[in-house]
Each structure stands twice: as structure tokens, then as C-alpha cells.
Amino acid sequence: MHTNYRSYTRILALALSLLLITSVLTACPTETIRPSFTSSGITRDTIFSVENRGLGAVMVWVTHSDREGYCFRDTELVNQVRTLIREHNGEVLIEFRDAGVLDSLNPCVGTEGESQYKVYLGESITAVPAR
């Protein structure tokens, strides 16, 4: 009976360990997982200015809003933004989302609490003709 008790304890300890490891791995955030409570949207406007931020990120400011900025960090999108500010005379469609907990290391998000504007994270930017 003493050996059965040890086997039972080992199996129970193993099961609890696996459950704990599974719980921790499930809770760990990844870059592709986004909370469902973050809002997103699309805006159509003209680019007013582009401001360089740390770690290669840029903030895009649009003409008709002084309360929102759109942060782009992806290298391909940053290059596209820089090309659009120099060469495109029309409007742009910016697909954006709210910054979430997973974005706390983003250089644009860190200044959000200190200012009068809202920082959105740019997901895509597309040139469109002016209306």
C-alpha cells in the first residue's frame, strides 16, 4: 500500500505540473494574439507630418485631427509612410487599432499618458486620391 501511495502522489504531482505549465503557456502573450476589447478602425485623411520616434517607429499626424496620432513600427510600413509624405498629394486610408498591454514596449505608446492626444497603432496605410 505504501508504494501505491507514492505512485498516486507522483501522478498527481505530474498532472498538477502539466496543468500549471499549460496555464502559464496559455496566458503568455504573443505578438499575434490581440485582446478582443481593443478597438480598431479606418480613417481617411491627408498626412500633415511624420515624426521619427525611437527604435525606427514613426508617428503620423493627419490634417483634420489634433487629438490622434498613428504610430507605425513595421519597417515596410515606415518606408511607405516616408514615401507618401514626400510623393503623394492625395489622401490616405489608415487602418489602426488601440494599443493594448502587449504594446507597452512600443516607443509611441509610452508617451500617451503624458500628452493631450491618443496614440493608435497603424496596421496599414494605403494611398487614395483626394475627394
User: With b meaning 16 or more CB within 10 Å and e meaning fewer, what string describes 92-113?
Assistant: bebbbebbeeebeebbbbeeee
Please give the pLDDT value at position 67: 86
CATH architecture of 40-128: Beta Barrel (2.40)
For cell 493631450, name the residue.
Answer: 116
If 0-12 CB within 10 Å is exposed, 13-18 middle and 19+ buried, where does residue 88 land?
middle
Lowest-pLDDT choice from 32-46, 68-82, 93-107, 112-126: 32-46
Please give the pLDDT value at position 19: 76
Q: According to the per-residue pLDDT averaged within each range, which of 26-35, 36-45, 109-118 is highest? A: 36-45
Please give the pLDDT value at position 30: 47
pLDDT in tens, 53-84: 888 899 999 999 888 899 999 999 999 999 99
Candidates 73, 130, 112; CA nearest to 96 is 73
Strands 91-98 and 68-72: what pairing? unpaired
Q: Are 60 and 121 in contact (CB under 8 A)?
A: no
pLDDT in tens, 15-36: 778 777 766 656 655 444 544 5
